[in-house]
Amino acid sequence: MPQWRKNGIVDRDAFRKAGENGFLMVWPDEKYGGLGDSDFRFEQIIIEETCRADCHEFFATVHSRLVGPYFEHFGSDEQKERFLPPCVSGKKILAIAMTEPGAGSDLAGMKTTLRQDGDHYILNGSKTYISNGINADLIIVAAKTDPENDPYAMALCVVESDMQGFARGQNLEKMGLKAQDTAELFFNDIQIPKDNILGDPRKGFFYMMQGLAEERLIGATQMSAAARKAFEVTREYVMERRAFGKAVADQQNTQFKMAEMEAEIDMLQVFVDHCVALHNQGKLTAVKAAKAKLQAAEIEWRMVDLGVQLHGGAGYMHEYPICRMFLDARISRILAGTSEIMKLIIGREVFSEQYKSFFE
Ligand SMILES: Cc1cc2nc3c(=O)[nH]c(=O)nc-3n(C[C@H](O)[C@H](O)[C@H](O)COP(=O)(O)OP(=O)(O)OC[C@H]3O[C@@H](n4cnc5c(N)ncnc54)[C@H](O)[C@@H]3O)c2cc1C
């Protein structure tokens, strides 16, 4: 991991090795190389253990569970046969490109277009902040197909990195997540065969919305694991560090603050597990997923902030893991929908006819 941080990118070999050992895309059918079991708990364990091993910048889950399922849910049999096996094995790396310089939270504001031209389509536009953007071989790109009449008519098309007209920008320099490659992508008159369109070329927006609950659950799982890791790192430090003749852990302030966080993180874990169980039953709603993601991001943030504070000056030094955790955690309240957007989703239901209390 330290070398990947220096390089600003995860080694492609890590995907291949994860694939060889069965840790990438566990859910596809056995005929495509997977286990054929989409129980989200497999993914949850991989996410939690990756975080525990201090490898959370290895965005294998973006590949495995955030992008890969688009092939399963919206792809034809031919597309599944073509795209799934090399992704399960880690030979090909996946990314998803929705965000543009002028459109993030408000995806309907995107400018990238996909226009039909005889027996194929032509893709034009650009995307930014794309995770795995430098490593990716296959990128699912969202583009408008009827921009004049319907801002929500969008297609999801598969761009292959060797297609003419495809270019990557630089690996963007970020505040944290230093080992994760995040890039701008450019599409200049790319010819997209019809066979590379997933599902109905007008329904991409609807498809993306369908995937968002799971994306937020993935975020919540990762963030609650990161909060727990920051808690453990801080706990160890304050038990060892001495001030005024006793361990920092012996100060009542430290005990109260850590007790508050322990209670918050435990409750978060229970809610995340509840959402995982609902998801496995096909019952996870957008609102529940938004609640989990909102709380996970905010609790992680409170924990890393406390962690830095309890480390004192050491918390400000890169050589201490809590410093990196603090910098990496800042994205959690923005990525996969900002905390404000999560509140918007929850707030809409609170004041709607569909409102039900937790116990109903
Ligand atoms: C490290 C990193 C990795 C990323 N990876 C990917 C990726 O792989 N693929 C991809 O497509 N995108 C990716 N993104 C983009 C990410 O999803 C967006 O940055 C995010 O959705 C926010 O969009 P934005 O940056 O345009 O912010 P904006 O939408 O411009 O928001 C700016 C501020 O306005 C607030 N705001 C916006 N609308 C409202 C509203 N209606 N009510 C209240 N407040 C509002 C927001 O909450 C935020 O505080 C990544 C971003 C980062 C930084």
How does pLDDT run across 309-351, given as a tens digit for each residue? 999 999 999 999 999 999 999 999 999 899 999 999 999 999 9
| Interval 94-110 mean pLDDT | 93
Average pLDDT over residues 245-272: 98
Would you say the CB of residue 135 lies under 6 angstroms from ligand 1?
no
Residue found by looking up tokens 């996946």 in the block: 94
Rounded mean pLDDT of the chain? 95
Residue 108 Cβ contacting ligand 1 at under 6 Å: no
List the domain boundaries for the chain.
2-93, 96-202, 206-350
Report pLDDT for 37. 87
Q: Which residues lie across from 143 on neighbouring strands?
A: 155
Does the pLDDT value for residue 262 go beyond 90?
yes
- Model confidence at 38, pLDDT cuts 50, 70, 90, reads confident
pLDDT band at 59 (very low <50, low <70, confident <90, very high): confident
Which residue's CA is the nearest one to ligand 1's atom 44? 340
Residue 109 CA, ligand 1 centroid: distance in Å: 13
pLDDT surpassing 90 at residue 358: no
Tell me which of 43, 48, 100, 215 is the catalytic residue. 215
Residue 100 DSSP class: B
pLDDT of res. 83: 97
What would the pLDDT profile of 173-186 be if each residue is shown by its tens digit? 999 999 999 999 99
Average pLDDT for 135-147: 97
Mutation test residue for ligand 1: of 57, 338, 346, the one with most atoms within 8 Å of CB: 338
Q: What is the CATH number of domain 96-202?
A: 2.40.110.10
Please check the confidence at residue 1 and state whether its pLDDT lies above 90: no
* Chain-centre distance for alpha carbon 144: 23
Residue located via tokens 């919305």: 209
Tokens matching residue 283: 């019952």
For 55, the token pair is 């490898």
pLDDT at 257: 98
Question: Is 215 labeled as catalytic in the residue annotation?
Answer: yes
Nearest CA to ligand 1 atom 25: 104
If you average pLDDT over residues 118-137, what whole number do you get? Answer: 97
End-to-end CA distance of the chain: 46
Atom of ligand 1 nearest to the CA of 104: 26
Statement: residue 62 has pLDDT above 90: yes
CA distance 70 to 122: 21
pLDDT band at 48 (very low <50, low <70, confident <90, very high): very high
Overall average pLDDT of the 302-313 stretch: 98
- Confidence category of residue 31, pLDDT binned at 50, 70, 90: very high
CATH of 2-93, one of 3.40.50.720, 1.10.540.10, 1.10.3720.10, 3.60.21.10: 1.10.540.10
Distance 290 CA to ligand 1 centre (A): 15
Whole-prediction pTM value?
0.94
The pLDDT tens digits for 273-293 are 999 999 999 999 999 999 999
CATH class of residue range 206-350: mainly alpha
Q: Are 43 and 61 in contact (CB under 8 A)?
A: yes
- Intrachain domains 96-202 and 206-350 with the same fold: no
pLDDT for residue 357 is more than 90: no
The pLDDT of residue 227 is above 90 = yes
Ligand 1 within 6 A of 131 CB?
A: yes
Q: Classify 217 as helix, strand or coil.
A: helix
**For position 56, what pLDDT does the model report?**
86
β-pair type (94-97, 138-144): parallel
Tell me, what's the pLDDT at 58? 87
